[in-house]
Amino acid sequence: LPPEASATLFVDGLPIDCTRREAAHIFRPFIGFKEVRVVHKDAKRAVGEKIVLCFVEFADPRCAATALEALQG
C-alpha cells in the first residue's frame, strides 16, 4: 500500500433508505472494522434525488484494503 493510503472507505451505490445498522452489517465481519457513518442529504435541486454518503473506518489502511478488495463490485 502507498504511504498515504487511508483507513477510511467511501461507499457508493447504497439505497436511499439505507440505515447505519444495515451498512455496518456489511462491514462488521472484516478485521479492523471500527465504525460506519451514513449521511442522508437532500438533493441540491428540488426535483433531484436524495444522496446517501457512507464512510467506513478501519483500524488501519491494510484492513480497509482487505474489505475493499473483498466487496469491490
Residue pair 39/50 in contact by the 8 Å Cβ criterion? no
Nearest to 66 by CA among 9, 20, 3: 9
What domain range is 34 assigned to?
8-71
CATH number, domain with residue 59 = 3.30.70.330
Q: What total of structural domains would you count in the chain?
A: 1
In 3D space, the residue among 68, 21, 20, 10 whose CA is nearest the CA of residue 40 turns out to be 20
Task: Note down pLDDT in tens along the chain; length 73 residues.
Answer: 888 999 999 998 899 999 999 999 999 999 999 999 999 988 777 677 788 999 999 999 999 999 999 998 5
Residue 16 in domain: yes
Q: What are phi and psi of 39, to 5 degrees?
A: -120, 125
Torsions phi, psi of 60, nearest 5?
A: -155, 165
Query: Is 3 domain-assigned?
Result: no
- Map residue 14 onto helix, strand or coil: coil
